[in-house]
């Protein structure tokens, strides 16, 4: 019932989005690209993005769309050998809608070389990757973090950490920095993201000899009462709580822990990113919270500040999060890779796909971006970059 | 001591369920229909209080009053537009309409206020100015009962007692009971059935607003789907206690809260819902009308 009503609303919204997308797109991006292209003989590569820009997950899709758009505008203004022709399709976070979106992107590109950017969320990404693998299109996702996305598909690559990768990185970080003598874990065992991180964390913690004193779960993110889980961790004497969960339940956990005067170190994954921007959230609750996020919008290096400024112009003042930054890096990865490939103008999508795979897995290709420097990719499609741990100090992120 | 803590958590959670369940049971008892949109009225109430306190900086009491007024009007409007035309229709049609209204409210809220989760400002701040928890500390701080939990329990008791007195002692309450027993006969006795049912919805929705504010004060997140799960739980509580019975809804709500919390603490956090519903099934097998419900055989 809900899905049907949603689907109808979404279909209407999507049609509207498509129409406005076409109008806006032809007015802005391709126009300078063509004029530049004609002058310098640049080759245009088509990049088709997919993600939810309406519905419950719209915040994530729009972030990856706008982040990529900022990079595309910068790249096309560079006057380099490659220009990008970027468009974005809505999948509302639903797998079969994502596959239809992918099909319309193929129609949009016709015979021009096309690279698929996305999708934003895991389930649709797995569905689309199966299609692109069969059709031979190169695919780079900014944010779909499950290993299922790239498993047995040589053409699918990730810009974000995988879930198990994040769990392992967290355990190593705690060990290396001597954080917490007794560790408690609370995770959502009804969710693939949370379980993926927690399982890898627990396994790695065992290897490293970390003392995990309590492992607590809850069944879904609609759970509102965590006092039982928190009491169990408190009674076990945990002085560090590892929370590989999204920020909405985490905000409740922080509030309820404070109410029961329980103040361990809270350590989370990238799902915590966004908590500080929740409307009405009391930022003092998050004071001292540590999280692994590849991107810190309050960093002061010039590339980040330029990105944040351009992004805010597109978003109407909303600050970019890691989804946006990963999207930005995806465009530069695609651009820099295409610059290294000869004869793109004569390639079809299949030849471009094979050339890009060879480059990404060749070992010598590295990308410097907002979310990491000298980033490389493994043959599995997984990214290799150093995790960045930030700490909330006075309501903003500070590198820990 | 953790046992007592769990009892307190369970009772305060249960009293919120009970306030919602009282609304369900009133409407069912008098209009003989399941108002599935009740849970979403809770959400609207919480949003009203959120905007009043957050965006306009009004004091908590004004926020609660605004939520009550808006929800009362909303409940009466829903009844007038969606349910009254179906008064003579089969009960299945009314049930489907109620589900439709529920989705209308949810999706409407999503369009108006966005899907992103918001943090609710509790009507009693969880900590005082010195940063200490706003809670009653017993046994040297080992047992801590937050003021919001105390307030929920008190409000729930007050609501239960006053509803019982209202339906038992007042003229309007008598009219409600008359409508509940036989609408046709009530009308012949000069009772305005339509306005009585409308009044029932007004009371039920006002209770929903109070429950919404209390629930979001205890668990301070708010999104357009906030009301749907507690709505279902409270419906379960109403059936558990015997739907149509006011003390039954109260007892059902409290028991449901305690069972849920105990199942989480002593059985499994993942199985807590399964345990709650297993208990419900057992109770209904033994007492088909619920704990305090009266079994009325259908006259043929």
Interchain proximity B120–A280, CB inside 8 Å: yes
Same domain, A97 and A168: no
How many residues does the structure list for chain B?
A: 300
Contacts of A58 in chain B (CB under 8 A): 115
Nearest chain A residue to B257 by CA: give it: A225
- Average pLDDT taken over every residue of chain A: 85
Which residues, in sequence order, are CB contacts of A59 under 8 Å at separation 6+?
A: A274, B115, B116
Q: Residues A152-188, buried b or exposed e (16+ Cβ, 10 A)?
A: ebbbbbbbbbbbbbbbbbbbbbbbeeebbebbbbbbb
Mutating which of B7, B57, B116, B142 best tests the A interface, going by the most A Cβ atoms within 10 A? B116
State yes or no: pLDDT of A34 exceeds 50.
no
Say which range, A259-268, A289-298, A301-310, B108-117, has the weakest mean pLDDT: B108-117
Give pLDDT, residue A9.
Answer: 53
Q: Please determine, for the modelled complex, whether the ipTM score is greater than 0.85.
A: no
Interchain proximity B54–A258, CB inside 8 Å: no
Same domain, A263 and A278: yes
State yes or no: pLDDT of A39 exceeds 70.
no
State yes or no: pLDDT of A199 exceeds 90.
yes
Same domain, A265 and A364: no
Contacts of B5 in chain A (CB under 8 A): 227, 231
Same domain, A9 and A146: yes
Contacts of A59 in chain B (CB under 8 A): 115-116
Look at residues A293, A323, A341 and tell me which one is the last residue of a structural domain.
A293
Give pLDDT, residue A27.
Answer: 37
Same domain, A150 and A286: no
Option in B115, B133, B220 nearest A261 (CB): B133
Is residue A254 helix, strand or coil? helix
Q: Say whether the peptide bond before residue A119 is cis (omega within 30 degrees of 0).
A: yes
Same domain, A116 and A199: no
Give pLDDT, residue A275.
Answer: 86
Cα–Cα distance, A391 to B85 (Å, whole number): 58
Interchain proximity A189–B270, CB inside 8 Å: yes
Option in B103, B106, B117 nearest A278 (CB): B117
Interchain proximity B115–A56, CB inside 8 Å: yes
Domain B2-286, what fold? ABC transporter involved in vitamin B12 uptake, BtuC (1.10.3470)
- Could you tell me which of B225, B177, B33, B124 has the C-alpha nearest to residue A224? B225
Structural domain includes residue A399: no
Same domain, A230 and A255: yes
| Shortest distance, CA A363 to any CA of chain B (angstroms) | 41
Nearest chain B residue to A246 by CA: give it: B117
Same domain, A114 and A219: no
Contacts of A5 in chain B (CB under 8 A): 103, 107
Mutating which of B43, B54, B264 best tests the A interface, going by the most A Cβ atoms within 10 A? B264
Half-sphere exposure of B287 (CA within 13 A, CB side): 16
| B117 and A CB contact within 8 Å | yes
Give pLDDT, residue A38.
Answer: 40
| B54 and A CB contact within 8 Å | yes
The vertex-A269 CA angle with A265 and A270, nearest 5°, equals: 130
Look at residues A271, A293, A315 and tell me which one is the last residue of a structural domain.
A293
Interchain proximity B269–A279, CB inside 8 Å: no
- Could you tell me which of A262, A266, A258 has the C-alpha nearest to residue A234? A262
Split into its structural domains, chain A has a count of: 2
Rg (CA), chain B: 19
Give pLDDT, residue A29.
Answer: 39
Interchain proximity A260–B133, CB inside 8 Å: yes
- When pLDDT is cut at 50, 70 and 90, the band that residue A346 belongs to is confident
Burial of B55 (0-12, 13-18, 19+ CB in 10 A): exposed
Interchain proximity B115–A59, CB inside 8 Å: yes
Structural domain includes residue A97: yes
Cα–Cα distance, B146 to A81 (Å, whole number): 65
- When pLDDT is cut at 50, 70 and 90, the band that residue B256 belongs to is very high
Give pLDDT, residue A344.
Answer: 87
Give pLDDT, residue A240.
Answer: 94
User: Which residue has better confidence, A17 or A276?
Assistant: A276
Same domain, A70 and A127: yes
The vertex-B148 CA angle with B145 and B153, nearest 5°, equals: 80
Give pLDDT, residue A270.
Answer: 85
- When pLDDT is cut at 50, 70 and 90, the band that residue B14 belongs to is very high
Is residue A43 helix, strand or coil? strand
Tracing tokens 């053409």 back to the chain, one arrives at A155
Interchain proximity A224–B221, CB inside 8 Å: yes
Give pLDDT, residue A237.
Answer: 92
Positive or negative torsion for Cα A192, A196, A202, A205 = negative
Q: What is the pLDDT of residues B55-99, one digit of tens each?
A: 888 888 999 999 999 999 999 999 999 998 988 888 889 999 999
- When pLDDT is cut at 50, 70 and 90, the band that residue A338 belongs to is very high
| Shortest distance, CA A200 to any CA of chain B (angstroms) | 20
Cα–Cα distance, B102 to B80 (Å, whole number): 15
Mutating which of B221, B222, B256 best tests the A interface, going by the most A Cβ atoms within 10 A? B221
State yes or no: pLDDT of A271 exceeds 70.
yes
Average pLDDT of A377-386? 89
Average pLDDT of A320-327? 91
Is residue A309 helix, strand or coil? helix
Mutating which of B40, B112, B220, B226 best tests the A interface, going by the most A Cβ atoms within 10 A? B220
Q: What is the pLDDT of residues A352-376, one digit of tens each?
A: 999 999 999 988 899 999 998 889 9
Give pLDDT, residue B131.
Answer: 66
Cα–Cα distance, A114 to A350 (Å, whole number): 9
State yes or no: pLDDT of A19 exceeds 90.
no
Average pLDDT of B138-142? 72
What domain range is A60 assigned to? 2-161+303-384
- When pLDDT is cut at 50, 70 and 90, the band that residue A7 belongs to is low
How many residues does the structure list for chain A?
A: 400
Same domain, A171 and A138: no
Structural domain includes residue A359: yes
Nearest chain A residue to B12 by CA: give it: A225
- When pLDDT is cut at 50, 70 and 90, the band that residue A17 belongs to is very low
Nearest chain B residue to A234 by CA: give it: B2
Q: What is the pLDDT of residues B31-49, one digit of tens each?
A: 888 888 999 999 999 999 9
User: Which residue has better confidence, A343 or A48?
Assistant: A48
β-pairing verdict for A183-188 and A240-243: parallel
State yes or no: pLDDT of A2 exceeds 70.
no
Same domain, A26 and A153: yes
| B55 and A CB contact within 8 Å | no
Structural domain includes residue A395: no
Same domain, A103 and A201: no
Contacts of A280 in chain B (CB under 8 A): 50, 54, 118-121, 222
- Could you tell me which of B16, B25, B35, B21 has the C-alpha nearest to residue B76? B35
CATH, residue A90: 3.40.50.2300
| B125 and A CB contact within 8 Å | no
Tracing tokens 């997950």 back to the chain, one arrives at A57
Cα–Cα distance, B78 to A239 (Å, whole number): 51
- When pLDDT is cut at 50, 70 and 90, the band that residue B1 belongs to is low
Interchain proximity A228–B6, CB inside 8 Å: yes
Interchain proximity A217–B270, CB inside 8 Å: yes
Strand partners, B137: B144
Domain ranges, ordered by start, for chain B: 2-286
Q: What is the pLDDT of residues A96-146, one digit of tens each?
A: 999 999 999 999 988 888 999 989 988 899 999 999 999 999 999 999 988
Cα–Cα distance, A80 to A344 (Å, whole number): 14
Of chain A, the percentage scoring pLDDT greater than 90 comes to 52
């Amino acid at each position: 019932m809900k899905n049907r009503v949603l689907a109808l609303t979404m279909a209407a919204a999507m049609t509207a989005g498509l129409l406005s997308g076409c109008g806006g797109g032809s007015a802005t991006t391709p126009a300078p690209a063509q004029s530049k292209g004609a002058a310098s003989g640049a080759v245009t590569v088509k990049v088709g993005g997919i993600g939810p820009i309406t519905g419950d997950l719209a915040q994530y899709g729009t972030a990856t769309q706008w982040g990529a758009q900022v990079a595309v505008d910068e790249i096309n203004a560079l006057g380099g050998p490659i220009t990008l022709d970027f468009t974005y399709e809505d999948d509302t976070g639903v797998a079969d809608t994502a596959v239809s979106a992918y099909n319309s992107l193929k129609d949009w590109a016709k015979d021009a070389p096309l690279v698929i950017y996305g999708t934003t969320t895991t389930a649709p990404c797995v569905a689309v990757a199966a299609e692109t693998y069969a059709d031979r299109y190169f695919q780079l996702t900014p944010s779909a973090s499950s290993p299922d996305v790239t498993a047995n598909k040589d053409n699918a690559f990730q810009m974000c950490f995988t879930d198990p990768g994040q769990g392992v990185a967290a355990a190593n970080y705690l060990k290396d920095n001597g954080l917490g003598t007794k560790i408690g874990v609370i995770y959502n065992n009804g969710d693939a993201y949370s379980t993926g991180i927690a399982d890898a964390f627990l396994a790695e913690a065992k290897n490293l000899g970390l003392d995990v004193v309590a492992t607590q779960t809850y069944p879904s993110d609609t759970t509102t009462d965590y006092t039982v889980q928190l009491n169990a961790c408190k009674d076990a004497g945990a002085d560090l709580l590892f929370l590989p969960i999204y920020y909405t339940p985490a905000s409740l956990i922080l509030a309820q822990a404070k109410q029961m005067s329980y103040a361990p170190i809270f350590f989370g994954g990238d799902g915590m990113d966004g908590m500080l921007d929740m409307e009405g959230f009391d930022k003092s609750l998050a004071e001292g919270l540590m999280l692994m996020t590849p991107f810190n919008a309050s960093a002061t290096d010039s590339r980040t500040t330029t990105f944040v400024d351009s992004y805010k112009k597109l978003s109407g003042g909303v600050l970019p999060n890691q989804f946006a930054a990963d999207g930005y890096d995806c465009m530069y990865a695609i651009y820099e890779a295409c610059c290294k490939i000869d004869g793109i103008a004569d390639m079809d999508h299949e030849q471009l796909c094979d050339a890009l795979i060879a480059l990404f897995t060749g070992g010598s290709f590295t990308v410097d971006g907002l979310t990491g420097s000298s980033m490389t990719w493994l043959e599995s499609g997984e990214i290799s970059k150093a995790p960045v741990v930030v700490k909330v100090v006075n309501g903003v992120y500070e590198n820990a | 001591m953790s046992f007592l803590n769990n009892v307190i958590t369970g009772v305060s959670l249960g009293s919120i369920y009970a306030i919602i369940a009282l609304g369900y049971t009133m409407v069912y008892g008098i209009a003989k229909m399941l108002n599935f949109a009740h849970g979403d009225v809770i959400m609207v109430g919480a949003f009203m209080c959120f905007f009043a306190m957050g965006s306009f900086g009004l004091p908590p009491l004004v926020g609660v009053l605004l939520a009550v007024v808006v929800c009362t009007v909303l409940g009466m409007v829903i009844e007038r537009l969606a349910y009254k035309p179906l008064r003579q229709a089969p009960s299945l049609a009314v049930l489907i309409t109620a589900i439709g209204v529920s989705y209308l409210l949810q999706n409407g809220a999503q369009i108006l206020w966005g899907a992103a989760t918001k943090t609710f400002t509790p009507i009693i701040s969880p900590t005082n100015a010195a940063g200490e928890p706003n809670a009653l500390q017993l046994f040297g701080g080992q047992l801590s009962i937050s003021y919001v939990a105390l307030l929920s329990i008190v409000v729930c008791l007050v609501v239960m007692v006053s509803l019982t007195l209202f339906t038992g002692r007042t003229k309007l309450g008598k009219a409600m009971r008359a409508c509940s027993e036989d609408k046709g006969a009530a009308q012949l006795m000069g009772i305005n059935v339509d306005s009585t049912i409308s009044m029932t919805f007004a009371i039920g929705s006002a209770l929903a607003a109070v429950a919404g504010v209390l629930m979001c004060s205890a668990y301070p997140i708010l999104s357009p789907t906030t009301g749907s799960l507690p709505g279902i739980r409270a419906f379960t509580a109403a059936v558990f206690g015997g739907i149509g019975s006011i003390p039954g809804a109260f007892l059902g709500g409290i028991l449901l809260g305690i069972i849920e919390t105990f199942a989480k603490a002593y059985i499994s956090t993942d199985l807590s819902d399964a345990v709650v519903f297993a208990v419900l099934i057992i109770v209904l097998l033994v007492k088909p009308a619920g704990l305090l419900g009266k079994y009325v055989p259908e006259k043929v």
